[in-house]
Amino acid sequence: MAGSGDGDSDSDRDRDKDRDKDRDKDAVRTGRRPAGSSRDAALPGLLLATGQFLPVTDIHRLAQTSGLTRLVMDADGCVLDAGRTARRATRRQRRAILARYTRCMVDHCPMPAHLCQIDHITNWSDGGATDLDNLGPTCQFHNRDRYRHPERYRLHRIGKDRWGFTYIGTRSKG
Ligand SMILES: [Zn+2]
């Protein structure tokens, strides 16, 4: 909030924020990426079948509830999200994951990410997609142990684009 007599800097900032919000709304409505916007969450997805731009939340919902395949590409047009079309992470996906993680996703595991396997957060066998947001590095031990004993691990978000697992051990149910 701009206080009275603070000069124009605070109110300028507020005005800039409002302009950014309007720009993001405009991007969703028109499908055009606003210049200077860094908030990808507000960017739309393109429905290739119709050429229609939709809010990215609608694209995610459609991809989950229909036979559509969602493909997310980087600036070079390389696929980063492959949905259910392929189980194994691509080299590009691996590179993007190694840019996000330095170690195994399990808390306190010291295994460097570049020595880890790329693991599905929601297992492929349970319908998990080969999408960046569903992939992360786990060491061979944690990959197998988490697959065999999912009840031993609790998933949590780290920041906006990473996941972590906390080992909670062999607690009895109830
Ligand atoms: Zn590990």
Closest listed residue to residue 151, CA positions, set 126, 137, 171: 171
Three-state DSSP at 114 gives helix
- Written as tens digits, the pLDDT of the chain (174 aa) is 333 344 444 555 555 555 545 444 444 444 444 444 444 456 677 766 677 788 878 877 777 776 655 566 666 666 677 777 888 999 989 999 999 999 999 999 999 999 999 999 999 999 999 999 999 999 999 999 999 999 999 999 999 889 999 999 876 554
Distance 146 CA to ligand 1 centre (A): 10
Beta strand segments in the chain, E:
44-47, 52-55, 72-73, 79-81, 117-120, 135-138, 153-158, 162-167
Distance 116 CA to ligand 1 centre (A): 8
Tell me the whole-structure pTM to 2 decimals: 0.56
Note the pLDDT of residue 36: 44
Distance 34 CA to ligand 1 centre (A): 40
Note the pLDDT of residue 53: 80
Domain ranges of the chain: 10-68, 87-174
As a whole number of angstroms, the distance between CA 39 and CA 22 comes to: 12
Residues 110/111/114/117 CA torsion (nearest 10 deg)? -140
Residue type, 84: R
Residue type, 143: N
Note the pLDDT of residue 71: 61
Distance 133 CA to ligand 1 centre (A): 19
Distance 148 CA to ligand 1 centre (A): 14
Note the pLDDT of residue 32: 44
Distance 166 CA to ligand 1 centre (A): 11
